[in-house]
Structure formats: structure tokens, C-alpha cells
Structure 1
Amino acid sequence: MLQVGVIGTGMIGQDHIRRMTSVLAGVRVTAVADVDPAVAFRTGERIGATVFATGEELIASSGVDAVVVCSWGPTHEQYVLAAIAAGKPVFCEKPLATTQEACLRILEAEAAHGSRLVQVGYMRRYDASYRALKSVLGTGQIGAPLMMHCAHRNASVPGFYEKEMAITDTAVHEIDMVRWMFDDEITAVRVLTPRRSSLGGDLQDPLMLLFELSSGVLVDVETSVNIRYGYDIRGEIVGEEGTAALGSLSPVHVRRAGLSADPVPADWRERFLAAYDVEFQEWIDALRSGGRPVGPSAWDGYAAAVVSDAGVLALRSGERVPVVLAERPKLYGMEVAA
């Protein structure tokens, strides 16, 4: 039984605790920590887990085999580095860290350790629709890929959401997905600003991002974060001999009152619920069988941060911005294919 400690018991932390305690197999949440001691105490009491005052104390506990980091983004670096220093596998919700420099420090620490310990929470790689799309691409049945069209639409976003977050918090999922889908790196970014939606307040919403890949494939990503009708994720690859796209938004098709419709998910939790379950079960199984994670790596987290930063610069400047990555440590190989 894998004994897991969770740092950060807010919304996403609570959701992961729920799945590890009531949905998944081979795992037990034995420890929790949170910046709000009262929240941590209530969570620990409810699930029978030890409550620690700090994340570092949780990581050092002999009752914790692996760590899940769900705390505020700026704290991710300190907890991931502490887990590496302790030699314990760590699943870190995105972002890996909030700056490129912090991501590089994590890469250096893990490379010095000599084997992979870190996995980053990019769950789209575990979604059945995206996996099916990648499988079709891999068979060659639509020929060589030329372009991909993507859309990432939210019904609304919270008041603290800022315009750069359309790239760093929203489109970052497409950034990781694209690298994984095509086993390739993004080499340049442009950001276009269409007519502003009256529903977005002070935000520049929507945005259109254009990614250039080293192979020559072009990927456009629309982000619309106040579109009201629901949470709508789309993706279509254009190949030399055909196209392949993500399937229906809903597993059920409704006909009533003279209308025929596919219900649209309300939010990301509804759309990617199964993907999160698969993501964590595969992480648990990998640790129990081989002792190391095999999903999105620290290199993937670093690459996503660099592309995100290039996207923010492109948004501010209106120019095409090249993506410049550091030399990839040998530990990671071609991690985009993992």
C-alpha cells in the first residue's frame, strides 16, 4: 500500500484526497498539511491522517512514501525540492514552479539525485479522447500532421483572474498537450487579440495563440474564458490525407422539446474527472511497481513554463517570440513522448 502525504487541502487537494480515499486502489492518504491549520485538522480527522504543521515535516515523516503537492503555486518549488532531498517521489500540480529559474533548480536537483522523482499534473495526457487522438495520429492514417486547431473555453473565471492567466493558467494545458501529442518542442509563439468580449470585464478575452513546432506543424489555440455556455475543449489535427478530432463533449445525446443536443460540461472537474482518476492510478501503480514516476516530468514542467513566458511576452509586445530552452539533462531523454 502506497502511503501518500498531501500538502495543500484546498479545492484540488480535497478532490485528490477524495479520489485516493474512495476511488483508487493501492493507496492510503496518511498525512496532510495546509497553510490553514484548521482546514488541515478537519481533513486529517475526517480521513484518519496525521496532520503536520509544515510541508517539510510531512515530507520527512517515515509514514509518507510519496508526496502530492497541491498548495499555492509559489510554494511548489520548496516542497518539490524538499521531496527530492528526501528521495521521495512527488506529484506536483501545475505549475511545477512559478518561474523558469525555479524550474531549472528543480531539474538540477533531480538530475543530481540521478533518477526521476517528479511528476507534474498535466491530466490531459490521461484523457481517453486525447489518447485516442494521439493513437490515430500515430497510426499514420491521416498522413503527416500539418496543423492543429484547439479551443479552450470557460463559462466564466474568478475575479482574481488576470489577462496573462489566459496563457499561464489556461492555455498552459494546451502547451503541454501539444508537446506530448506531436512528440515535439514549441519553438515560437504569437498571440493575436481579436475583438474584446463585453462579458470579460477588463480582460483581453478571447485570445488566439499560434505555436510553431520544430517540425513545422502550426497549432492555433483559442482561449475564451467568459463564454457563458459551459466548459468546451476542442482539438482537431489536419493531416496530409485527412483530419482527426476529439469526440463529442458528452457521453449522452439528448433530444427533447424540438431540440437535439450534446450537454456541455459545466467546468473542468466535470470534463476531466475520469482523466484525473487515470492519472493518479497510473502514478500510484508506477510507484508501487517500479518506484519512479513515468508521466509528465520536471522537464515538461520547465518547458511549459518557458513557452508560457514566451506567450506572455508575445501578448504584451504583439510580436513573434522565439522559445529558447536550456540544454536538456540526459536524465529526461525525449520526455515529451512519455
Structure 2
Amino acid sequence: MSDLKVAVIGVGKMGAFHVDSLTRRTRGAQVVAVNDFSPERAAEIAGPIGARVVADPFEAIGAADVDAVVLASPGFAHEKQVLACLERGIPVLCEKPLTMDGPTSYEVVRAEAETGRSLIQVGFMRRFDTEYAGLRSLIESGDLGAPLMLHCTHRNPEVPDSFTSEMAMADSVVHEADCTRFLLGEEVVAVTVLKGTPTSSAPAGVSDPMLVLFETESGRLVTVESFVRTGVAYEVRTELVAERGQATIGLDQNLQVKQAGRWGGTISPDFVVRFGAAYDTQMQRWVDAAAQGTIDGAGSWDGYAAAAICEAGVEAVRSGRRTEVKLEARP
């Protein structure tokens, strides 16, 4: 079979990583078209791999030689671009968010349902991380009994001053929202946010760190520490508390050195280093599925559910009150 011909829309840090993954580490794929709001950036990425630069993202999506699309464009552009992929009937791997809010994400879900096909995959890459996959398998095995709680930590070394408390919910905690659903296999029904003493590096009015509490439909509890200005490194951990034991992933137990009366190691500096292998696995599985006209990963409903959870979370940040997650009926 010939290689899957892919257009990549948006080649910032994430999009450029995807181009590199498709070109160097993924079998059966070829990037044929690149689009970005910066033509210079698009040319910089497209030139070395022999892809063409397409100024209009919709022209790239509609190109006759494009079999599938990777969307790494800004979130506000996703809705129309995803719908254009649906109109063409080609698979799309869309970085989160699916769209900027719950209602528009639900409209995308409905539009896909009308096609009768699964064409939209949302880039929740932790589902492809070996530790997260292993923890899910452990839960499903029942070896530790029923899961009762999850305790999650999500820390970044730094973010721009423009990164607000609401953005921390929509851009960082969204991953814990999806992981909660992935690991426990049920929906989140309510979100509460506690805002304590902020770090001195947080701008005025920004709550960092925050403690987020998810409640699931069966009554399980999930805590999320969101701290995006640690000044240390990128740390993502999850502890499962079950009836007959506990399990923890994300301990960064890499190379440790003991020398001259000291011991130490390294922590991942950013999300690409921590989850690089998961991104590559996600890409290979998506390419294999897209070649068959479908997807293999989080779908549009997962993107919608995460958006609805984050909307409730943003409201909880602003109001300081427990906020229910409202999901429409699944088409």
C-alpha cells in the first residue's frame, strides 16, 4: 500500500514535533502539505522534507492528494477545520481542545455522527503512555479491588504571565479530566476548585497552585494539584487508591547517580520529553487506523466531555463553588 498522505495544519512546537514524528519515526506516512499562519515558519518546516507550503488551511484540507490531516493549529480554529475534514470524509488527528467550548464541541460530535463514521481523533496522548496504559489494565484486572480515588499532580516549570487560572484549567487540567475518564471508565459529574496561597511568581489575581476535585458518576473522587509555575521541571504523577492496594505512575525514576556523597537524577524539562514516546505511539496507531479510514484513540465524544468538564472547572474557579458538569445526550 502507498503511504498515507498527510497535511499538517499549524507547525508551532507541537505541530513541528508531529511533522518530525511522521517523517522520521512513523511507518506508512508522508507529509505532503504544511500550513501555518506564518508562511516563513511553514517553509522552514516543509522545505527539508520536500512538502509544499499551502497558505490556506482549507485548501490544504481539500487538496486531492491529502488522505488525512493533523491539526495543531490554535484552538479557536479547530471547529471549522475539523468540520472541513468531516465534509471531505477524511480522518483527522486534532490536538486538544476539540473546540473552544462544550456547545460547539457537541455540534462537532453530532456532525460526525451524521457521517456514520469515526473520523475525529483528539490528541490525548497520555492514553498511549505505557504507564497510563498499564495503570488502566491494572484497574480493569481487579487485582487491587475497586478503584476508590485518584490523586493527580500536574506541574510545569513556568508559563507566561498571561497564563491565567482559567487557562490552567483548560490547558493543563484538561489532561487529568481525560485521564480520569480513561482510567475509571465513567463520566465526571462535578468540579470544585480550592485556591490557596499563590506562589510569589504568580501575577496578581492568579491562583497558582490550585487544588481541583472531580466527582465521578459512581461517587469516586479525583484530586488534581495544578501548579504551573514551580520553577523546577515538568512533573505529572497519578496515584490510584483502591480497595486492596495503591499504585503510582510518573515517578520519573530515570538514571540516578551517587557520587561524592550526593545522589540525584533528572526530571523531564517539558511535556514533549516526558510524553515523546506516547506521542509517537499515538501517531503510528493513528496513521495505521487512518489508512483504513478510521481512528484509534480518543474520539470526538471524549473531546466534548473534556471540554464540558473544563467549562465547569472554569466556572468553579470564578465562583468558588462546586459546579456540575452538564453533558448532552450522546448521539
TM-score (normalised: structure 1): 0.94
The SS at the match of 2:55 is: coil
State how far apart, in whole Å, the 1-side matches of 2:141 and 2:15 are: 37
State the Cα deviation string for residues 169-202 of structure 1 (Å, max 9, x = none): 0100000011011110000110001111112233
2:314, 2:150 → 1: CA distance?
A: 21
Q: Which runs of 5+ in 2 are unaligned?
A: none
Which of 37, 41, 44 is matched with 2:43 structurally?
41
Distance 2:168 2:44 in 1: 34
CA distance in 1, matches of 2:225, 2:250: 18
User: RMSD of the alignment, in Å?
Assistant: 1.2
One-letter amino acid matched to 1:309? E
Q: Are the counterparts in 2 of residues 33 and 58 from structure 1 also a CA contact under 8 Å? A: yes
| Structure 1, gaps ≥5 residues long | 330-338
1:247 and 1:108 map into 2 onto residues whose CA distance is 36
Match of 1:281 among 276, 284, 288: 284
Residues 273-322 of structure 1: per-residue CA shift (max 9 Å, x gap): 1110111011111222x320021011111110100000011111111111
After superposition, the C-alpha distances for 1:135-164 in whole angstroms (9 at most, x for unaligned) are 111111111111110100111112321121
Match of 1:267 among 270, 276, 281: 270
Aligned to 1:76: 78
Q: Which one-letter code corresponds to 2:42 in the other structure?
A: A
Cα distance change, pair 242–99 in 1 and its aligned pair in 2 (3 A): same
1:222 paired to 2:225: yes
Q: Name the counterpart of 1:333.
A: none
Amino acid across the alignment from 1:95: P
- After superposition, where does 1:5-154 map in structure 2 within 5 Å? 5-154=7-156
Counterpart Cα distance in 2 of 1:258 and 1:163? 41
Distance in 2 of aligned mates of 1:35 and 1:16: 17
1:251 to partner: Cα distance: 2.7
1:293, 1:210 → 2: CA distance?
Answer: 31
Q: CA deviation at 1:231?
A: 0.9
Amino acid at match of 1:305: A
Counterpart of 1:135 in 2: which secondary structure? helix
Alignment-derived partner of residue 177 in structure 2: 175
Q: 1:135, 1:157 → 2: CA distance?
A: 34
The equivalent position to 2:293 in structure 1, one of 281, 286, 291, is 291
Please state how far the C-alpha of 1:212 moved relative to its aligned partner.
Answer: 0.3
Deviation per residue, 1:50-77 (Å, 9 max, x gap): 2212111011111110001111110011
Question: 1:178–1:59: structure 2 CA closer, same or farther, 3 Å change rule?
Answer: same
- Distance, in Å, in 2 between the alignment partners of 1:258 and 1:141 is 40
Q: Structure 1 vs Structure 2: percent identity of aligned residues?
A: 43
Match of 1:302 among 287, 304, 315: 304
Cα drift, residue 259 of structure 1: 2.4
Structure 1 position 232 matched with structure 2 position 227: no
Structure 2 Cα separation of the partners of residues 41 and 104 of structure 1: 35
Name the counterpart of 1:335: none
**How many angstroms apart in 1 are the aligned matches of 2:262 and 2:235?**
20
Q: 3-state SS of the aligned residue for 1:164?
A: helix
CA distance in 2 between partners of 1:304 and 1:170 (Å): 11
SS of corresponding position for 2:19: helix
